[in-house]
Structure 1
């Protein structure tokens, strides 16, 4: 493979010039807010400096301002862009890098296209589908540096017994250590979005608890947090139609009778006060005592 990286002293592509050459403007109605702050663009790859950058996946490259910086540090980049006009521009703008085999532009929806076997993902995600994309990437157990709405980012990284802690915190931290590494102001984008943003760094790791059925565990967490103001006893009973339990009362009875490894006092607590390992124990109890035979 020919190395088409720019020389070390080469200036990165100017994000405003890229917008002009592409002949596009961001469209909030299409969830298009282009990151144009050079300082933020330059720092994004720095947060992945200790990652394996042999094959970086970028979701939502837009006009390629971040793509350009990723090509300076990665051996290979795959960029997934759903806008046909932008995908065509990227193929023109980065024709040399594509010819050298260092960049692949995939035109399509990141929730639908087949993703490559990437080593890390560094992306300014389209906010309207950022949650769905994050939970497509997290189970791949690869390190990530992703831009989110600030509120979403803070909920991803929140500790139990804090106001931001919820279903998103438990689900994201099931797959990785999650850290908010930098807030990003609205003015860093063109056009500015209505909300502040933040960069999140995730490092994959196995959880320090066991779950038998991961899909059931995540669904159980989702169900219980729909009743976060209720006690766990009532949340389990009220959400059987969401969690897929056949007999929610049997779960509560088993915990109260000491037939599980849970302290019965947990039934009087609320979801926002429970750490992930307690949710794992609750899900195991629910799976064992509240679900019918599955095939």
Structure 2
């Protein structure tokens, strides 16, 4: 690793984020969803949120100019970074040539939604916000711990509990795969250029749900469907969204379900109640 000077505590000196941007010849571009994390204190903290995880192979989505990559190389045995910008991918290979040569770093050029992701033990990533949802739901089913940076609103919706204003489809689907926790908020000035909103760091810890569903795909489609009509009662939402959930006989589901549950709105239905209703729908709704 180039520039291996030492801090006063004896640890390796980390690369300066602003210097990395200068060497890469970029300034960030909001139109391309490029907001580089440049706050040293935040960058240093991100890996610590996964200090109990297996760090043998860490996946980073959106390497940018390598400020977080640099920290991860000091933290993990091996790092794979996915970067869709070909110029930045080339820069990462040159900037971290020693780590690439040593087999500690692999740079994958391409879109994280399209490339083949490796078997990883942990992902720590400052995600491109425009693709946050799609990337997150590609990672969550892999059953690995994640430390991901999002827009704050998105992060809070991921971690929301039933009955709160932020609770919705995102809360239920993320919680189906993992415990979700917002561990830090990040001000806009921690990025270059600063985004228009605050950001937040989310830590997910994989676990099996505390309920059973007949089929993951059907359950998630069913939840998505009823939340499209979250202002309606569940009775009406189930009936009105059969074209989304795939139910052939939504009236049979409504007739067989608990009246109190059918009188609730989706925002007040717990994941376990959704699962119970999905099991019922699987049996009588002719999906």
Q: Is the CA contact 2:92–2:107 (under 8 Å) kept in the aligned structure 1?
A: yes
1:146-166 per-residue CA deviation (whole Å, 9 max, x = no partner) reads 000000000000011100000
Structure 1 position 4, deviation (Å): 10
Q: Is the CA contact 2:47–2:124 (under 8 Å) kept in the aligned structure 1?
A: yes
Provide the rounded CA distance (Å) in 1 between the counterparts of 2:2 and 2:219: 45
The normalised TM-score by structure 1 is 0.94
Provide the rounded CA distance (Å) in 1 between the counterparts of 2:175 and 2:68: 26
Provide the rounded CA distance (Å) in 1 between the counterparts of 2:14 and 2:185: 23
2:282 to 284, 287, 290: 287
1:144 to 137, 143, 146: 146
Provide the rounded CA distance (Å) in 2 between the counterparts of 1:127 and 1:270: 29
Structure 1 position 5, deviation (Å): 12
Name the SS for the 2:50 alignment partner.
coil
Name the SS for the 1:47 alignment partner.
helix
Provide the rounded CA distance (Å) in 1 between the counterparts of 2:61 and 2:278: 33
**Within the alignment, does 1:269 sit opposite 2:269 as a pair?**
no
The normalised TM-score by structure 2 is 0.96
1:278 to 259, 268, 273: 273
Aligned to 1:258: none
Aligned to 2:89: 87
Aligned to 2:105: 103
Provide the rounded CA distance (Å) in 2 between the counterparts of 1:5 and 1:159: 46
Structure 1 position 68, deviation (Å): 0.2
Structure 1 position 264, deviation (Å): 2.5
Aligned to 1:27: 29
1:8-58 per-residue CA deviation (whole Å, 9 max, x = no partner) reads 522100000000000011000000000000000000001011110000000
- Aligned counterparts, 1:132-281, within 5 A: 132-255=134-257, 263-281=258-276
User: Which consecutive residues of structure 2, in runs of 5 or more, have no partner in the other structure?
Assistant: none
Aligned to 1:54: 56
- Aligned counterparts, 1:32-43, within 5 A: 32-43=34-45
Indicate the RMSD between aligned Cα atoms, in angstroms: 1.4
Q: Is the CA contact 2:3–2:15 (under 8 Å) kept in the aligned structure 1?
A: no
